[in-house]
Structure 1
Amino acid sequence: MKKILSLLFAFVGLLSFSQQISLETIFNDKISIRAVQIWDHKVWYAGTDSKFGFVDLKDFKNQKQIQLSEGKLEFRTLAQNKNYFYAINVLSPAYFFEIDKKDLKSNIVFKDTVKTAFYDALHFVNDDLAYSFSDSDTNDNLKLAVLKNGKWGLFKNEVILNKGEAAFAASNTNIASTKKYLWIATGGKASRVIRMDFKTGKIEIFNTPFTQGEASQGMYSIDFYDDRFGVAVGGDYTKQADNINNIAITKNGGKTWQIQASGANAGYMTCVKIRPGSNGKEMIAVGDQHISYSADFGKTWKKISDEKNLYVCEWVDRDSVIFAGKDKIALAKLKF
């Protein structure tokens, strides 16, 4: 009897928690969106069929969409500095689009024509410095494009990745940074963390206990609160219910990682974001089959929504989150 009551209370508690999120669809279109940005009280997106646009968070009916190219390019990256948005299409040739925030006019400012070019994420460290991570060329050299002093170019380095080690263009979030470090999460045959020290330029690679070894496995998304504490999520997109070794945290800047909630989470996740103002304690994550939340530095997780086909999330403020994915953008209001 005690066991039955315990299970009942646990169910009621989880049900109560799940009712503390309201999800409102604010945009519909035939599009797949894996990268969003918040600016000027609007959510900006880039997606399939060369589509780029915004939805006004003050007036959802105020929307604008343009096509960055006559070709049907697929964008899975989007980032910004104070004057421009930047988007890079997957596959080759990879075109680097610069979009002026004033008039939304775009230009191609860099191009990578190597057959293996596949840019998985684009991240601004500050207004003058950005990095984009691509799958390696045939020599397995770490491939980064860098925007510095107003110009794009390839980042010269001698780092060699493992065969089959790459990344996932799932949510534009396998790169993170603080003032001290840049981190890149890899996956596939090996799932490791690449860390660059901005001051010294030193690049280190750290192993992780994440599920790995197959092309579909590994870390898909990372986020850091400060120079030391970070979280990573992922799994296996071909086995989305699998929930073993798919969440980990670090307390020493990515040197070592500790698996969390293995076997006790909702499965495969494509994006994780730490809640603003929570000092790293609270975080939200999304996968194709669920939205989940942690309030104890990633130690335990609760599924708070069964919403399907969402791939990326971004905090608008402490109590609001944007989610985007297949054919839609949704705004969630959190009540906890």
Structure 2
Amino acid sequence: MKKIFTLLFLALNLMLFSQQIESFETILNDKISIRAVELYDNKVWYNGTDSKFGFVDLKNNTNQKQIKLSEKKLQFRTLAQNKDAFYAINIESPAHFFRIDKKDLSVINIYTDTLKTAFYDALIFVNDEHAVAFSDPAKDLNLKLSFIMPKLNSILDFNTLTKREGFNSIKLNEGEAAFAASNTNIAHQGTNILIATGGKSSRIIKIDYTTLKSNIYKTPFVQGESAQGMYSIDFANQNFGVAVGGDYTKQEANINNIATTNDGGKTWKVRASGKNAGYMTCVKIKPDSKGKEMIAVGDQHISYSSDFGKTWKKISDEKGFYVCKWVDKNTVVLAGKDKISLLKLKF
């Protein structure tokens, strides 16, 4: 009987982790660190160090182009798009908000944040007419949130707006910030945006961008040190979401570094603690899987879950990836240190 249960358990594991790598192809090699990618027109678009911005054709990787967003050697970790253009913000001060036209790749600087503490961690479009970006807080610990309005090529500062409308600014705890790791510690569902923080506190900030009302939720994620906390979040719908991260300085550490929520970010349950490959910088839920299947990358591995994040399997020891994005149900684009790769999975 014991042998029968063992065989059934092994068979179940094989069913849960039935995906295999069909092919793994590097489609871009360059001296660049890439932490943000977008998909458009059958191409993967990227930006990174040394002000580099460009694309690689997913059907024919010899078709590629790269431009410079600035003559200065700026570092970019954010990238987002609407139907007309891409938008990118460099980290560190002064922070320049760039618009790159999709038709001719012309570049304009629509805004510059000169605050000395400016350090923009993430950028996302919530609809075609509005994007949201946030920066590390200033000394007053107020969350610095900005609304980009593409039609007007203008920026609206959240703290100024909230004071004008009578709402309180969102204050972070001492030592709490966010990680500009893969442009994925921000998500949106319906009229809400969700921001994952880390450091001495790792919490979820949930803001209704139509009313500007906000809530902050505690999480059981590893936290307390400057490099600990949530690095990436993704949502399948308004209820189910996943968060990954850990400790960048101790990448093998795998305690309390994965969690899921079933109530839109209010409460979180730790998953696979002590039973995963360690620090992860980006997680993406497979399209149309309702959250059941997801892939995540860390500096040292690529991992997969096929049971709503409850258990994880390392599917590759490939190193140096910081960001991933599903191209379709079987294909994932990955980018990071000096490369962009295309991973095809067989199920």
TM-score normalized by structure 2? 0.92
Give the aligned partner of residue 189 of structure 1.
200
1:273 to 281, 284, 292: 284
1:154 aligns to what? 157
Residue aligned with 1:49, SS = helix
- How many Å apart are 1:18 and its aligned residue? 7.2
The corresponding residue for 1:246 is 257
The answer to whether residue 102 in structure 2 is matched with residue 101 in structure 1 is: yes
Amino acid of the structure 2 residue aligned with 1:102: K
Q: Does 1:312 align with 2:323?
A: yes
CA distance in 2, matches of 1:205, 1:316: 32
Distance in structure 2 (CA, Å) of the matches to 1:324 and 1:112: 28
- 2:48 is the alignment partner of 1:47: yes
Q: Secondary structure at the match of 1:222?
A: strand
Paired residue type of 1:249: T
Q: Any conservation in 1 of the 2:228–2:245 contact (CA below 8 Å)?
A: yes
- TM-fit CA distance, 1:54: 0.2
Deviation at 1:181, TM superposition (A): 1.4
Are the aligned partners of 2:20 and 2:345 in contact in 1 as well (CA < 8 Å)?
no
- Structure 2: distance between partners of 1:202 and 1:168: 24
Say whether residues 1:298 and 2:309 are aligned partners: yes
Shift of 1:167: 0.5
The Cα shift of 1:155 comes to: 1.0
**Structure 1 position 22, deviation (Å):** 2.3
Residue of structure 2 equivalent to 1:332: 343
The 8 Å contact of residues 21 and 304 in structure 1, kept in 2 or not, is answered as no
For 1:279 and 1:257, the matched residues in 2 are separated by 18
Quick one: distance in 1 between partners of 2:319 and 2:175?
29
RMSD: 1.9
Structure 2 counterpart SS, 1:20: strand
Which shows bigger deviation, 50-59 or 196-205? 196-205
Give the distance between the partners of 1:43 and 1:221, measured in 2 at CA: 20
Structure 2 residue matching 1:317: 3-state secondary structure:
coil
Matches within 5 A, 1:155-174: 155-156=158-159, 157=162, 158-174=169-185
Q: 1:231 — aligned with what? A: 242
Partner of 1:255: 266
Contact persistence 1:164–1:190 (CA under 8 A): yes
1:134 maps to 2:135: yes
SS in 2 for 1:228: coil
Identify the range of structure 1 (193-202 vs 107-116) with the bigger mean alpha-carbon deviation.
193-202
Q: Which residue of the partner structure matches residue 83 of structure 1?
A: 84
In structure 1, runs of 5+ residues without a counterpart are: none
